[in-house]
């Protein structure tokens, strides 16, 4: 009976050599094609190589690649361009995954500021940046900061989409889930009600005098909070 040969793992040193070799090849290729190592496409490649390096355990190589991608895009497009914000966001996510809270927070905020100053239609990325911040703060148990980040995300989405679209409803539901996980059930129910009204424009008024309309809305709200129904309806504020 044949036995399978165990897979050989690549040592960190060999991984580093491979990655550096790829970077050198990338640099030579961009020069040969007349693009140069400061071309925006080189920044795109550096992001991919940085993520590849991190996945192979070579975090020390990943960080300078991701930083370099930010510098290249700043030179190519200017500091207040949406693509610079995207590069900053990639760097922030790297810090986040590495558990480097201060670096992640600072870089997420830089990317949000870049998106805000950008002339591009980059508000969705700005809202996503606040969502990343909320998740970062939540992981650290920072309630007030998490709440503020979620509120900023919601405000940006409502500003650009209006208050009665499904994208806003998605945001409201995610915030309701977070409040529920934090034991803030009254707030969770409030946000769920708002989401239900958006998804059911024909039943928009919770105070509609028609019993069947009000009952329909109440039933939909109750269906979304079954997991909360066994817990007293307390705001949970100490």
CA distance 26 to 32: 10
The DSSP secondary structure of 110-158, one letter per residue, reads HHHHHHHH-SSS-HHHHHHHHHHHHHHHHHTT-HHHHHHHHHHHHHHHH
Q: How far, CA to CA in Å, does 166 sit from each of 152, 154, 217?
A: 18, 12, 17
Q: What is the DSSP letter of 10?
A: P
pLDDT of residue 201: 75
Burial of 100 by CB count in 10 Å (0-12 exposed, 13-18 middle, 19+ buried)? middle
Is CATH 1.25.40.10 the right assignment for the domain spanning 27-122? yes
Q: What is the full per-residue pLDDT of the chain (238 aa) written as tens digits? A: 444 444 445 566 555 555 565 555 455 445 434 455 677 777 888 888 888 888 888 888 889 989 999 999 999 999 999 999 999 999 999 999 999 999 999 999 999 999 999 976 789 999 999 999 999 999 999 999 999 999 999 999 999 888 778 889 999 999 999 999 999 999 999 999 999 888 887 654 555 444 555 555 555 565 555 555 555 554 544 4
Q: Say which residues have a Cβ less than 8 Å from residue 106's Cβ, sequence separation at least 6.
A: none
Domain boundaries, the chain: 27-122, 171-238
Q: How far, CA to CA in Å, does 148 sit from each of 81, 120, 175, 192?
A: 25, 25, 11, 18
CA distance 94 to 127: 19
pLDDT of residue 7: 44
Report the 3 state secondary structure along 12-75: HHHHHHHHHHHHHHHHHHHHHCCCCCCCHHHHHHHHHHHHHHHHCCCHHHHHHHHHHHHHHHHH
Q: Please answer whether residues 187 and 179 qualify as being in contact, where contact means their C-beta atoms are separated by less than 8 angstroms.
A: yes
pTM check: above 0.95: no
């Amino acid at each position: 009976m044949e036995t399978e040969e165990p897979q050989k793992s690549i040592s960190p040193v060999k991984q580093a050599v491979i990655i550096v070799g790829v970077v050198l090849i990338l640099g030579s290729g961009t020069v040969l094609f007349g693009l140069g190592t400061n071309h925006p496409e080189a920044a795109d490649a550096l992001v991919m190589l940085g993520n590849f390096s991190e996945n192979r355990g070579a975090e020390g190589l990943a960080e300078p690649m991701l930083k370099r991608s930010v510098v290249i895009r700043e030179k190519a497009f200017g500091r207040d361009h949406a693509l610079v914000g995207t590069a900053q966001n990639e760097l922030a996510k790297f810090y986040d995954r590495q558990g480097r809270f201060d670096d992640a927070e600072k870089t997420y905020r830089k990317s949000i500021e870049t998106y805000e100053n950008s002339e591009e239609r980059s508000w969705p990325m700005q809202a996503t940046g606040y969502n990343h911040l909320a998740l970062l703060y939540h992981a650290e148990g920072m309630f007030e900061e998490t709440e503020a980040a979620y509120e900023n995300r919601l405000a940006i989405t409502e500003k650009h989409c209006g208050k009665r679209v499904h994208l806003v409803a998605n945001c409201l539901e995610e915030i309701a889930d977070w409040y529920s996980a934090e034991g803030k059930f009254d707030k969770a129910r409030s946000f769920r009600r708002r989401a239900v009204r958006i998804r059911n424009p024909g039943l928009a008024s919770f105070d509609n005098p028609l019993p069947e309309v009000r009952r329909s809305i109440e039933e939909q709200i109750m269906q979304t909070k079954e997991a909360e129904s066994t817990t007293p309806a307390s705001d949970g504020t100490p």
